[in-house]
Structures are given as C-alpha cells and as structure tokens.
C-alpha cells in the first residue's frame, strides 16, 4: 500500500482490512466510475448518528434544540473541510486531471465529502465501533472541552462571519412589527441580505432576541442554498 495511505490510517486510528474501500473513499467522481459518492452518503448518516450519541453523552442536561444546533456546527462543511486539511486529504485524493488543475484538492465540498466517505468506508470495513472510533478521534477533543453555550449563542455573529467569509455584505435588521402592551411587547424583526435578495423574520420579547432568531433562520436558509448549482455557488 502507498505510504501516504499508511500514514493516513495511523492518523484516523483505523487500519483497513479491505484497502479497496479506502481507495474508493478517496476517489472523486472526476477520476473514474468507482468513486466515493455512495460512501459519502453512508458516511454522512454514520457521522450524524455518532455525533448525536457523543453529544447526548457529553451534554446530559441540554435539550433537543441545543443538541441539534451543536451537531449542525460540527457536521457542517466548514468544519469537515478543516478536519480534512488537518488529516492531509488533499495529498491522497484521486482526482481527474481537469479537477486537479482547477484546484479540486483544496475545494471545501470535495474534501468534506471525502471525509464523510472515509467514515462510511470505516463503517463498512470494521462496523459501527470502527467508524465511531474514527469520528471520536476527529471530534472528541472539541466536544469534551467545549461549553454548549459557546456553540449555540449569538447567531448574529455567526451570520456576519458566514457572509464575510464569502465576501458578501453584512445583513440588515429592522423591526417590522410590535404587538402587545408596552410592558409585555413582542417584537418581529426582519433580517435581510440584499445581495442575495433574502429576508427572514424572527420574533421575541425583546428586539435583541428577535434579531437573534431572525439571524438563526437566515443562517439555516443560507446553508440550505449553499450547495453546488445554487446561486451562492454560481
């Protein structure tokens, strides 16, 4: 086996009995028909289940909403891309010539998919315990050392950083409605990203809470559209 693969297996903590699975996990569709998309589909599900279990164990007193938001942070493309770089996946990917010349080895979506495919391959090769070991090795330290509040608060800051990372203007907020008596008002706030012609609304007992909710909804909407072929990727 290629020495690069030996080193990668040491880094992920799993040695493949069937090295064909490892090769397939690292093969982009541009390279050939035996590519990693089916493994990526499987790995995505295994990753989500494993992260859910780790969070359930770590944050015993947290509710479903908090756990869901933390999981979304951990399994999003940006996080997987960073981990793939740390593992050195760009050096071991199989890419077609055109994709390689176009910088595919550094593309976030390709690397994130390859990492999920690697998890799927470990699952097929060694079962759930093997895949869980890989995921725990990748995510265990950050889960063990983080405070759940740091992952779930301040959607406005996260939205601003998300947009700035894509060189888009920061969002705007405005109160669109207020309801109730002065001492118990409910505010409705609109969050707009004019550059993308998107608007989301949020409600709360204060303007700040309503803005955070609107920002959270905008983030959710943006992440759904931040896919290949969408306006954000054109």
What positions carry a catalytic annotation?
44, 116
Name the burial class of residue 73, with classes exposed (0-12), middle (13-18) and buried (19+) by CB atoms within 10 angstroms of its CB. Answer: middle
| Contact predicate 117/43, CB 8 Å | yes
Which runs of E-coded beta strand occur in the chain? 172-179, 186-193, 198-204
Residue 191: Cβ-neighbour burial (10 angstroms; 0-12, 13-18, 19+): buried
């Amino acid at each position: 086996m290629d020495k690069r693969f030996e080193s990668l297996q040491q880094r992920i903590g799993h040695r493949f009995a069937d090295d064909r699975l490892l090769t397939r996990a690292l093969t982009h569709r541009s390279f050939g028909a035996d590519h990693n998309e089916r493994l990526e589909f499987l790995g995505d599900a295994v990753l989500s289940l494993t992260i859910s279990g780790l969070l359930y164990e770590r944050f015993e007193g947290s509710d479903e909403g908090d756990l869901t938001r933390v999981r979304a942070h951990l399994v999003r493309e940006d996080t997987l891309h960073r981990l793939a770089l740390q593992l050195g996946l760009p050096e071991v990917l199989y890419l077609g010539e055109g994709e390689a010349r176009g910088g595919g080895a550094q593309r976030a979506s390709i690397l994130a998919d390859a990492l999920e495919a690697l998890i799927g391959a470990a699952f097929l090769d060694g079962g759930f315990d093997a895949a869980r070991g890989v995921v725990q090795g990748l995510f265990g330290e950050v889960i063990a050392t983080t405070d759940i509040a740091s992952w779930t608060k301040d959607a406005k800051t996260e939205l601003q950083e998300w947009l700035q990372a894509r060189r888009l203007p920061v969002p705007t907020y405005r109160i669109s409605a207020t309801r109730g008596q002065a001492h118990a008002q409910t505010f409705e706030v609109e969050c707009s990203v004019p550059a993308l012609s998107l608007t989301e609304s949020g409600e709360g007992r204060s303007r700040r809470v309503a803005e955070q909710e609107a920002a959270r909804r905008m983030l959710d909407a943006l992440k759904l559209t931040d896919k290949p072929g969408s306006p954000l990727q054109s």
